[in-house]
Structure 1
Amino acid sequence: MRSWKNHVRGELQQRDQTEKLPFIGVFTSLSQMEERFEFRKTFLDDVQSKSLDRGGRESEHLAEKLSQTVSDLTTVLYLKEAELQYWQSRVSHYRQEALSLAKRSNTLKTTLSEFEYTIECQSKELAALRNEQKGINEALALACREKDELLQRWMEEKREEADRLNKYNDAQERWQRVAKHLKKHLHSERKKEFVPIVTNSWYGEK
């Protein structure tokens, strides 16, 4: 921002110096010409007054020459006045342009201040969002760890439950085999109880 201000200030100073230089020469030349004009006019008046006393062609020739010189100086003076008016209009134009640039500079300065304020607010908001994101990431990482630990415990519990179920099934199968064997044995024992006993005494009675 400083480089931009320095650049505008340097351009205005350079333009100001550039516009002042022609006027310095114009005013100096105009002052010199006015002095020469007054001197020659005084001299011409003096010569004309003396020529009236003396008379003769030489005085008239000199008077004509001086009159022509005065006419030339008057023409140059008019030209210098026209040039002065031109430079004055140029100065007025550049003054208006300088005022317009100054207003634009103030507007740009205000806009730049607004942008700087907006950037500052957005930077603070971004910092707050980053802190919030950091907290969310930490909470998410903690939740993932807890989920992994919970899943690990759940899988261990399921494995233990499966082991208990397998053991229970194995025990059930063993008990079923034992029960089947006992039932079979009991059935055999009951058959033995219902077989009639043949004795010798029964045959002797016949």
Structure 2
Amino acid sequence: MLGWKSHVRSRLQQRDQTEKLPFTGVFTCLSETQERFEFRNQILEEIHPKSLEKVGVEDGRQTRLLHLHLKESEHLAEKLSQTVSDLTAVLYLKEAEIQYWQSRVSHYHKEALRLAKGSNSLKSTLSEYEFTVECQSKELETLKKEQERLKEALVQVQRENDQLLQRWMDRKREEAYRVNEYNNKQERWHQVLRYIKKHKEMDKPAVPELMPCLTGTTQKSSSANHHQSA
């Protein structure tokens, strides 16, 4: 899209250089010559021929030429005066414009200095923030490592706690088993005692028959007590 625009612009510039620019001075010169010709015709029409009848032909021609040059000089002087007046007005405008732009330049210069100071302040603040961020990043890395170490320690503590809990439960289970065994033995012993008490008033021969059972039970109870105390 931009390629054909550039091509058209270059072709137009080439046409201006070949067709317009070489004749710019010619057109200006032709315009000035035409203006001068019209002005001379106007002056010649203003000069009355009868006023020159009393003088000779040659003197009349010279008089007309002098009058023509005088009028042209006056016209050129008026044009130059007008041109000087226009240029003076333009000069005043340009001076005012220059003063305005100088004030704008001074304002922008002060603004640039202020922005430069602000930029330097922002750069220093940015450097401080970067240093703070760097320190915080290092501290964060240290905290992450410490967190990982604490996590590992926590996992180890939990593992040890589970192991201790398992050993405690095993021990309590063993104690419960021993207590149950002891309670069972005590129950059997009480049953034997009740049996003996029940048959106490029975015949004496029945007592020796119970002695082997009682003796075996007593030995078992003593061995159980000895194992429990161990």
TM-score (norm 2): 0.54
Displaced runs of 4+ in structure 1, greater than 6 A? none
1:132 aligned onto 2:146: no
Q: Which runs of 5+ in 2 are unaligned?
A: 1-58, 206-230
TM-score (norm 1): 0.60
Of stretches 182-191 and 97-106 in structure 1, the one that deviates more from structure 2 is 182-191
SS at match of 1:195: coil
The number of aligned residues is: 144
CA offset digits 1:30-75 (Å, max 9, x no partner): xxxxxxxxxxxxxxxxxxxxxxxx9x84576143442333233222
Of stretches 158-167 and 62-71 in structure 1, the one that deviates more from structure 2 is 62-71
Deviation at 1:194, TM superposition (A): 3.7
SS at match of 2:202: coil
Deviation at 1:116, TM superposition (A): 1.4
Relative to structure 1, the CA distance from residue 133 to residue 197 in structure 2 (aligned partners, 3 Å threshold; closer, same or farther) is closer
1:117 aligned onto 2:124: yes
What is the alpha-carbon root mean square deviation over aligned residues?
Answer: 2.6
Higher RCO, Cα 8 Å, sep 6+:
1
Match for residue 186 of structure 2 among 152, 156, 179 = 179
In structure 2, how many angstroms separate the alpha carbons of the residues matched to 1:102 and 1:197? 136
1:142 aligned onto 2:146: no
For 2:105, the equivalent position in structure 1 comes to: 98
CA offset digits 1:146-188 (Å, max 9, x no partner): 2221122112111111111111111111122222223323443
For 1:72, the equivalent position in structure 2 comes to: 79
Give percent identity, aligned residues only. 8
1:170 aligned onto 2:146: no
Alignment of 1:44-55 (within 5 A): none
Deviation at 1:197, TM superposition (A): 5.8
For 1:89, the equivalent position in structure 2 comes to: 96
CA offset digits 1:111-150 (Å, max 9, x no partner): 1111111111111111111222222222222222222211
